Structure 1
């Protein structure tokens, strides 16, 4: 199907006609002279008639060239048949703790020990790379929570953001409740069956303006399923054990929202946890349609330039031939 992005451009077609209707500039009549060259004047009159024919041909040709150029300005496009693009997968928000305690080096990998944040970045980035067909977003939190990447099919960019995340971006404390609330805000407008949040932390809630369980209750109302992951060599059960994961809180958040709580004491367990979450069944969402478009502007512009060039060259050639014939006859 032929379509024009700027159909109003066709109003420019009449511009040469309007210019043609403008009154000509007044010409002053000079004094007449008498010249007894009647035969010569008759011959010049015949040449004038030929010149008029050439002029008419030139005007019509240039007008057609102008129509082609105006068509190019209107940006014609060939629109193909609709192609259905089914969207499958989940709207998955990943929330990572970047508080100061994530720098602790207690994650054992072979014979060496790495920091918690290094282990999380390596495994989380691998996880997002495999979520083909999902919309994935990223929230980083410490004393404050902020969206590093909104929900997007571009998992490559989200993966890069995870790898580039640095401690201190969001402060030294831990705001679990704020991270939950921000994720709910980003997920609530998505299809109810596909809202998933994975929250990873190694500490306790110490800086939230929203109580974590209040945020969990709101998440349950909005059908946001929360999977919580506690990462530490030593896991606490209450806030009385400062600096360790509040395992009871994370389990309560997961149970309130229909999710599940996992504990990870080393990178291997963390890898296994992401493997379990990676097996989530995709949910069929509303299909979208796409109609391929192919621009035809350059063809119209090329036709106009070629036609105008031919008219100008042909008109000049005819005028030259007539002038030569007239000179030979004289």
Structure 2
């Protein structure tokens, strides 16, 4: 079927007729419809008997131009189209231990949260067409950014996070339970949670075991990332010594959360390892969204516009030939 994208443009079609009617009313003379596209020589070639035809042809050309500006288009038969976007909730640990400066960015020592923001900027930027959400957790968990296509907003929300915003402990169970609740009313999505932490569950109203059961019940796939170096050198009273800044990281719990939900556990000891992890996450299959009916569109405006130019070219040629005959 034929449709017009700018149907309202058709309201300008009567303008030449209205102009001619007002001109007649004020001059009390019958004036023909002026065709402004014709050259000056046309006035010498137009005969009184042909003015009616010229008026009709001018009106036809004007009609074709208006139709072209109304953007006619051919709508094909509806075809099903699937939404291939993935949906992922990102849960970020804001506990006090995330301020440990055991990471480096371009040779500069930074804390874990700064490194996480730096790496996730590229990760979020690559998720074109995906729905992303952001959950922050420490003493409790809350949704900072609901599931959205607006990646810039998610990135801004993450950049604005600060440590100890909601406490110093780690409520991993609450973060998982909140994610499961958010995905509960979306049965057709892949329900992926990317959980980034550097510790163990020390707070919250829901234990990791209870949250795991909720995630399994609602079909949430969890990818856990343990952040933190395994060894750093610190200065002490008796000189330098080596310590493990990630001694509180509960890798067994993180691995269990991933294994029992069909996800995977990753260990990020450096900025480079975290970048590689997010590159791997990019390769996971997209969610198959609900089918939507779409009509293929084919623009047709060039047909009436081309016909208008063709008619004008014929009129111009006819006028020039008539002028040559008169002066021949």
Q: TM-score range by the shorter chain?
A: 0.5 to 0.7
Mark the CA change 1:93 to 1:202 in structure 2 (over 3 Å): closer, same or farther: same
Query: Gapped runs of 5+ residues in structure 1?
Result: 3-77, 236-240, 292-330
CA distance in 1, matches of 2:131, 2:79: 21
Aligned with 2:260 (options 256, 260, 265): 256
Aligned with 2:120 (options 124, 131, 151): 124
Alignment of 1:280 onto 2:276: no
Mark the CA change 1:175 to 1:232 in structure 2 (over 3 Å): closer, same or farther: same
Mark the CA change 1:83 to 1:100 in structure 2 (over 3 Å): closer, same or farther: farther
Alignment of 1:93 onto 2:97: no
CA contact (8 A) 1:198 1:226 kept: yes
CA shift, 1:190, in A, is: 1.7
More helix by share: 1
Listed as ranges, the matches of 1:27-38 within 5 Å are none
CA distance in 2, matches of 1:85, 1:204: 43
Q: Secondary structure at the match of 1:173?
A: coil
Mark the CA change 1:247 to 1:181 in structure 2 (over 3 Å): closer, same or farther: same
Mark the CA change 1:242 to 1:208 in structure 2 (over 3 Å): closer, same or farther: farther
Aligned with 2:215 (options 204, 212, 219): 219
Q: Report the TM-score when normalising by structure 2.
A: 0.59
Task: Identify the range of structure 1 (81-90 vs 99-108) with the bigger mean alpha-carbon deviation.
Answer: 81-90
Aligned with 1:108 (options 93, 104, 107): 104
Mark the CA change 1:154 to 1:212 in structure 2 (over 3 Å): closer, same or farther: same
CA distance in 2, matches of 1:254, 1:218: 13
CA distance in 2, matches of 1:86, 1:159: 27
CA shift, 1:125, in A, is: 2.3
CA distance in 1, matches of 2:178, 2:129: 23
CA contact (8 A) 1:89 1:194 kept: no
Q: Secondary structure at the match of 1:284?
A: coil
- Tell me the equivalent position of 2:224: 228
CA shift, 1:244, in A, is: 2.0
- Tell me the equivalent position of 1:137: 133
CA distance in 1, matches of 2:152, 2:81: 20
CA contact (8 A) 1:96 1:140 kept: yes
CA shift, 1:84, in A, is: 6.6
Mark the CA change 1:175 to 1:105 in structure 2 (over 3 Å): closer, same or farther: same
CA contact (8 A) 1:202 1:230 kept: yes
- Tell me the equivalent position of 2:68: none
- Tell me the equivalent position of 2:270: 266
Aligned CA-pair RMSD: 2.6
CA distance in 2, matches of 1:198, 1:246: 16
CA contact (8 A) 1:91 1:190 kept: no
CA distance in 2, matches of 1:234, 1:208: 27
Q: Report the TM-score when normalising by structure 1.
A: 0.59
Q: Secondary structure at the match of 1:92?
A: strand
Task: Report the number of matched residues.
Answer: 212
CA distance in 2, matches of 1:200, 1:106: 16
CA distance in 2, matches of 1:110, 1:125: 15
